[in-house]
Structure 1
Amino acid sequence: MKLLEGQLWKVGDIYWRILHRDNYRVVYKAMKDPETKEGEEHELTKKEFCRLIKKAELLTPANPRG
């Protein structure tokens, strides 16, 4: 699975949107409601984020930029 900016993931009642990704880290926003886009930004290493989404469901398709 390739992590891309803009992807929306869901586990339980929490949604995570990837805001920025590079080779080593992922900046994402944790939200209760993706429609309002209100939530807190967090930063993890790519490895930690992949562990976090291990049981998550990808809600938006990959949308490469460019």
Structure 2
Amino acid sequence: MKLAQGQIWRQGEEYYRIVKWARLSIEYKAMKDPATKQGTLHTVTKKEFCRLIKGAELLGPGGLSQTEAEAIPAPEEE
């Protein structure tokens, strides 16, 4: 798994969005609802962030989980 800026992770009722990705640290926002983008900003080491999201689900574009996003059929080309 690779961490990247802008990723949103869901663990239970909490959502974590990576705001700033650096070599040794992660700045993330903890939110209750990712649509409102309101939450608290935290800075931790990568190791601490990985422990935080252990068992969490990476959300894809539009707030869908990776498995839900993969299940959507691709548009057919003409």
Q: TM-score, normalised by structure 2?
A: 0.75
Q: TM-score, normalised by structure 1?
A: 0.88
Q: Deviations over 1:13-50 (max 9, x none)?
A: 00000000111000000000000000000011000101
Count of residues in correspondence between the two structures: 61
Which is richer in helix?
Answer: 2
Identical residues among aligned pairs (%): 59
Unaligned runs of 5+ in 1: 62-66
Amino acid at match of 2:26: V
Compare relative contact order (CA 8 Å, sep 6+) and give the higher one, 1 or 2: 1
Superposed structure 1 runs of 4+ greater than 6 Å apart: none
Larger Rg: 2
8 Å Cα contact 1:9-1:60 kept in structure 2: no
Which is richer in strand?
Answer: 1
